[in-house]
Structure 1
Amino acid sequence: MKTTRQLARQRRQRRRLVLGAGAALTAAGVLAYLVMALLPGHETDAGPAAAAPLVTAQPKAAGAAGTGSPAVTASPTASASPSPTGSAGPKTATPSATPRPSSTGVPRPPREASGTTSLSGRIRPGASYQGVATAYEAGVGDGACLFGPSPDLMIAAMNTTDYETSRACGAYVHVRAANGKSLTVRITNECPLPCAPGQLDLSQQAFAELADLKVGRLPITWSLVSPGSVGTMSIRYKTGSSPYWCGIQVIGHRNPVARLEVSTAGGWRQLSRTAYNYFLSPDGSGCGKAIRVTDIYGERLTVNGIAVRPNVVQPTQVQFARH
């Protein structure tokens, strides 16, 4: 039989065990709480800042705001990559008269080589135009372009719209009639109103190659060409030209002329073009100096040694490349 002292000692040991177990359980609970609080993604009730969604800290893709769709501008598309022909050079450009659909279904404007769009004006390489052909008595073949008598009468007058302040002068166009016949003519004249855009007023000799003159009006399509059987170009100063004022004309060019520049002390100076197919230097700047001629394909030819000799056709040794 246990004594009173032994019973008291056992009670004290049980009390220490109970207190120790309670303390251990409390410590374990605190430790578990701390571990859970430190785990990634665990939200604690730390105040208003912790309640903000994390996605607001992510930068939005450009162009996606308010659309709900992915921002397609963030990655290149097929239309943004260069094509095999692209704009590698003027000679490779073959624009279509019909706009081509893009990958988005929106029609694209006709593509041309770099710089060609601004140089070609209304008559563009590779484009096809519809209109009507009429006929006129061409005489010796002279006309508004002031080239003088033509070596042959396969010539035409361009309607005022496509004539475009003489930009069409000297252009070669291939004309195809609805009956299947065709020929190439050179633009030497302007056909004023009522000639409509697309209309060509052919010399009677040229019209007769396509149909009987009695037909009067003949539906046609036509396009710019760059013929091979063309000699070298010539330069002519206008009557009245001098070192103080001059007009300069290019004759016999294979491709339409886009601009003409003259050499001055300050560099190349571009001259303005008149409706009668001369480039003018009102103050005489560059008259008698080197001349630089550019065609609609961007090719530049420099001509030296052309003196100011009014109304004299002076041949050169250069010609634009064929396209």
Structure 2
Amino acid sequence: MPLGSEQKGIATFYDATGEGNCSYDKSGDLMVAAMNREQYADSAACGQCVDIVGPKGNVRVLIVDQCPDCDKGHLDLSRKAFDKIAEAKDGRVNITWTPVSCDVAGPVKYHFKDGSNPWWTAIQVRNHRLPIQKLEWRRDGDWKSLKRESYNYFVTDSGVGEGRFQLRVTASDGQQLVDSVEKVLDDDTVDGAEQFAPQK
């Protein structure tokens, strides 16, 4: 979904925790939402920020989940986020919404899924300003793509091997960051060096 492209749709609300199909941890910041299945696009929408305008106000949310029964344009918001754009008693309201750059601090982060090892490796990009298009790795030689799963991890069933390797992450607008990682971790996170520039 191109940043800045206005969408029309509806909003509902659910009891969000920050967890969900994107495999993020519970969050203290509950300005979050679930994306309809079509625009979730097998987790491509995970970590996307969206500005929403509703009947009584506007709010910015982070996409953390998928709403499998929602039609295109439909966003299912946390109760807290819904309260900023409409009355809870309305339950279902018309909205316009626009994908935007996230206001994040610090560099991107790479989280290794529990069970990751040199022979089966699953990595999630976190704290990114723009949606993630792809993640690649290399030790020597050519870059190899990691397969994106619908639960928002990039996975290689043969692993990346032992010791130091490089990661290259590409944002939705084509910006790229390259980082060196000392080794595969298990259920742990490592900081990258940089952050994507905001999209104008």
The question of a shared fold, defined as TM-score above 0.5 by the shorter chain, is answered with yes
Structure showing greater radius of gyration is: 1
**Count of residue correspondences:** 198
Structure 1 runs, 4 residues or longer, greater than 4 Å off: none
* Structure (1/2) with the larger helix percentage: 1
* Aligned CA distance change for structure 1 residues 185 and 286 (closer, same or farther; 3 Å): farther
Name the CA distance, whole Å, in 2 between partners of 1:169 and 1:317. Answer: 21
Shift of 1:228: 3.6
Q: How does 1:28-39 map to 2 (within 5 A)?
A: none
Q: 1:149 offset after TM fit, Å?
A: 1.6
Give the conservation status (yes or no) of the 8 Å contact 1:235–1:306: no
Matches of 2:78 and 2:50 in 1, distance apart? 14
Q: 1:166-205, aligned counterparts within 5 Å?
A: 166-177=43-54, 179=55, 181-193=57-69, 195-205=70-80
Equivalent residue number for residue 217 of structure 1: 92
- Percent identity between matched residues is 39
Q: Does the alignment pair 1:230 with 2:105?
A: yes
State the AA in 2 paired with 1:291.
L
Which residue matches 1:297?
173
Q: Does 1:131 align with 2:6?
A: no
Shift in Å, 1:286: 5.9
Residue aligning to 1:144 = 21
Change (3 A) 1:152 1:306: farther
Alignment of 1:9-158 (within 5 A): 123-139=1-17, 141-158=18-35
| Runs (5+) with no aligned partner, structure 1 | 1-122
Deviation at 1:244, TM superposition (A): 1.0
1:245 to partner: Cα distance: 1.1
Match of residue 130 from structure 2? 255
CA contact (8 A) 2:48 2:102 kept: no
Unaligned runs of 5+ in 2: none
**Amino acid across the alignment from 2:109:** S
Shift of residue 133, structure 1, vs aligned partner: 0.3
Contact kept? 1:306, 1:314, Cα under 8 Å:
no
* Cα deviation digits, residues 192-222 of structure 1 (max 9, x gap): 11x1111000000100111111111010111
Give distance in 2, aligned partners of 1:155 and 1:201. 9
Alpha-carbon distance in 2 for matches of 1:306, 1:136: 40
CA distance in 1, matches of 2:187, 2:64: 18
Query: Partner of 2:122: helix, strand, or coil?
Result: strand
| Separation in 2, partners of 1:296, 1:320 | 10
Separation (CA, whole Å) in 1 of partners of 2:90 and 2:153? 36
Contact 1:173 1:224 in 2 (8 A): yes
1:275 paired with 2:150, answer yes
Name whichever structure is richer in strand by fraction: 2
Aligned-residue CA RMSD in angstroms? Answer: 1.5
Letter in 2 for 1:129: Q
Alignment match, 2:41? 164
Amino acid at match of 2:169: V
Aligned partners of 2:75 and 2:7: how far apart in 1? Answer: 11
Larger RCO, structure (CA 8 Å, separation 6 or more)? 2
Pairwise CA distance, 1:315: 2.1
The one-character-per-residue Cα deviations of 1:212-243 (angstroms, maximum 9, x if unpaired) are 11111010111111134433211111111111
Deviation at 1:147, TM superposition (A): 1.4
Corresponding position of 2:188:
312
Q: Secondary structure at the match of 1:187?
A: strand
